[in-house]
Amino acid sequence: MSSAIVIGAGIGGIASAIRLANKGYDVDVFEANTSPGGKLNEIRLGSYRFDAGPSLFTMPELVDELFRLAGKDPKQYFRYERVSEICRYFYEDETEITAHADPLDFAREVEDKLGVPAKKVLKHLGKSDYIYRSTAHLFLERSLHRLSSYLRFETLRSFLKLPFLWIDRSMHEANEKALKDARLVQLFDRYATYNGSDPYQAPGTLHIIPHLEFNKGAFFPDGGMYSITRSLYQLAEDLGVRFHFNTPVKRIAVRGRKASGVLADKEYHAHKIVCNMDVGFAYRKLLPDQKHPSRILEQERSSSALIFYWGIAKSFPKLLLHNIFFSADYQEEFKDIFKNKKFSLDPTVYVHISSKMNQDDAPKGKENWFVMINVSSDQGQDWDTLIPKARAAILKKLSRMLKEDIEPLIEEEDILEPRTIESRTSSYKGALYGTASNKKMAAFFRHPNFSSEIDNLYFTGGSVHPGGGIPLALSSAKIVDSLILHEK
């Protein structure tokens, strides 16, 4: 029987293990932490439960597909529901916009609150759909680093459409030209943060992202986001995958030009190695003696995050599952993140409250707040000084905009910041998405899903093609699966 080793039990690693086991491989997964999930994990504080990392769930069909590949009924493992109101946006001028799941309802909301014609909003969402349909089969479903991907009619058709996919302008420029209203532009600019990028630099092609929310839908898993990890972990075990927790991999063994195994608590051998560790650490720690792709490893890091987990001793009916409190000067905020390598004193604050959907996550009459701001990756900043200042700025902003003093309501608290993101999830410099997408052709410059120097070595997860976030991590596992199938 052919054997495979997966390094890291993040969502991309578990998905790869499932696909390999489904192909008949004997699979071992090595994870440094005590539990699976990587960034997609959970924490408990007293009587509160929090999803520790990703909080938005789109493209659930990519999860369902893994169960169906194994001949299983997804509903026996995992259930979810579509969210009817995706997000509520709060602005400094006291405007509030609810992003309804139905595009027409959302467009009417925008017309009512901002005066932007509904047909203009629908046209903008239609453009997002067009970009998705024009690019998804290439950028999200195939390796960009194999010649075979370009010898296809669909690929040629995508390249012929490039001039119409806003690749020649920044995301902000595309949104501003189409929408005019600064508040609506800010709402659509925000989608650049979904892969840790700056809308004032990232290409307009990233307008593909709102399509996933508005045209395909946002969902919430029964039991919270961590149930995605739990269900896939259970499926992997049911398929015979062996998990080795508290077992960090120290080296990838290379003989000649072939990866032959790993050194962990002892040496293990396998025919295929799939690395789910951030590619920056993978080369520096696991392949120190091999040739490194220096151009890729030196690329600009994506943004990181500063997250406060707050048990709040009150319920706020006006808040939804997802909430955004915008800064007054968005451009200056991104300048601080990507150029000045600090946080803004007026940050955009994201508040995720899973207890709105899963009442067991907080005591009755209380809420579990996942409070996040985007920050720079770790560049040696004095975080011990910056974090208390950021906390104060966040509390001041939320208290003002909600007209309620928030700090006295906090009865449980924990913090996740760039240094602990790096140490807990092996994300190089705490960057959540590997490299940023702040260049026109950034999608082509991410690390491929395979090694060009070492045979039998593959890469999955958010730091490689096609990028970060749950859907893209699952897509990376699917691409690795196709590469192994082709090369078997």
Q: What's the pLDDT tens digit per position in 219-235?
A: 999 999 999 999 999 99
Q: Is the pLDDT of residue 133 over 90?
A: no
Give the confidence band of 160 by pLDDT, cuts at 50, 70, 90. low
Cα first-last separation, the chain = 13
In contact, 371 and 349? CB cutoff 8 Å: yes
Q: What is the 3-state secondary structure (H, E, C) of 175-190?
A: HHHHHCCHHHHHHHHH
Q: Given pLDDT bands bounded at 50, 70 and 90, which one contains residue 156?
A: low
Residue 267 pLDDT greater than 80, yes or no: yes
392, two tokens: 């104060």
For residue 281, give the nearest of 266, 295, 292 by alpha carbon: 292
Name the amino acid, one letter, at 157: R
| DSSP letter (8 states) at residue 479 | H
* Nearest-angstrom CA–CA distance, 271 and 129: 40
d(CA 8, CA 281) in angstroms, rounded, equals 12
Q: What residues does 261 pair with on adjacent strands?
A: 253, 269
Report the pLDDT averaged over residues 250-278: 97
Going by the DSSP 8-state scheme, the letter that residue 355 receives in this structure is G
| Top-tier CATH class for 3-41+55-81+223-299+441-487 | alpha beta
Residues 166-172, mean pLDDT to the nearest whole number: 91
Q: Tell me if 244 sits within 8 A of 31, measured CB to CB.
A: yes
For residue 154, the model assigns a pLDDT of 67
Residue 145 has pLDDT above 80, yes or no: no
Residue 151 pLDDT more than 80? no
Lowest mean pLDDT among 147-156, 353-362, 407-416: 147-156
- Distance CA(33)–CA(462), nearest Å, equals 18
Q: Tell me what the mean pLDDT of segment 84-105 comes to.
A: 97
d(CA 86, CA 113): 17
CB atoms within 10 A of CB 382: 8
Report d(CA 66, CA 131) in Å as an integer. Answer: 26
Predicted pLDDT at 339: 95
Q: What is the mean pLDDT of the chain?
A: 93
- Predicted confidence (pLDDT) at residue 359 exceeds the cutoff of 80: yes
Give the per-residue pLDDT at 166.
84
Q: Work out the average pLDDT over 299-303.
A: 94
- Residue ranges per domain, the chain? 3-41+55-81+223-299+441-487, 106-215
**Does the structure show a pLDDT above 60 at 22?**
yes
